[in-house]
Every structure is written in C-alpha cells, then in structure tokens.
Amino acid sequence: MNDPKSANCNADSTAWLPGCKNGTSCDDLFGRHVGEEVVRRAIDENESLSGDERDVAILFIDLVGSTQLASTREPHEVAEVLNNFFGIVVTAVDKRQGLINKFQG
C-alpha cells in the first residue's frame, strides 16, 4: 500500500497542479484542495489524476439570521450555536464519506 506522504508527482498525471514539479511531493498541495482522504484513496486505488466524470452532490448552506445572531449574542454563545450546527453537518457528511471543503462566513 502506498503512503500519501511519499507520493511523488509525475509530469503526465499532475501537470494540471500548479507548482507541482516532477519528483516533488504533492500530497499536501493536492490534499489542500480535495482533502487527505481523497488523496489517500486516489493513491491506494491508483486513480488517474487526469479527470473523471462522476455524479456528485454539492451542498451550500446559508444560516438565515446568523448576522442578527452574531450582533445580539455574546461571542461564546455564537460559537456554541455554530459548533453544534457544524457538528451535525460534519457527522452527516462523514457518514456518507463526503468532503467538507470549508466553513466560511
């Protein structure tokens, strides 16, 4: 089994990765964009990095009232509400082997 930490770029499969040169470890660069689990799985399954078509789902969540919440509550209260919400989201995504790119706002 290959370890993503020892993965090296090659000119053919990773030419689309900016800043990735032949012989340079790319797991960190690639992993920042798709997540460590995706990198590990791509290496373990010898996946092509040239692009595949897949059915995927993308979810954007907008918390209605979050601005008002932030302006009327103490910071620790806002953090608690958001952490509870994000915990629910993370659990649901992890259960389906999904990837969270970022929390923003």
- Residues 101, 32: Cα–Cα separation, whole Å: 9
Cβ neighbour number for residue 9 with a 10 Å cutoff = 21
Burial class (CB in 10 A: 0-12, 13-18, 19+), 42: buried
pLDDT of 3: 41
Query: 40 with 77, same domain?
Result: no
Contact status, residue 16 vs residue 9, Cβ threshold 8 Å: no
Q: Are residues 95 and 64 in the same domain?
A: yes
Residue 28 lies in domain: 4-44
Predicted pLDDT of residue 10: 43
> From the CB of residue 39, how many other CB atoms can be counted at a distance below 10 Å?
23
Asked if residue 69 is part of any domain, the answer here is yes
Report the pLDDT value the prediction gives residue 23, as an integer from 0 to 100.
45
Looking at the structure, tell me whether residues 59 and 105 fall in a common domain: yes
For the chain, which residues score pLDDT lower than 50?
1-17, 23-24
Would you say residue 50 lies in a domain? no
Total-model pTM: 0.53
Q: Are residues 104 and 67 both part of a single domain?
A: yes
> Is the CB of residue 44 less than 8 Å from the CB of residue 1?
yes
Number of domains in the chain: 2
What is the per-residue pLDDT for 9?
43
For the stretch 67-76, pLDDT in tens is 999 999 999 9
Residues 65 and 99 in one domain: yes
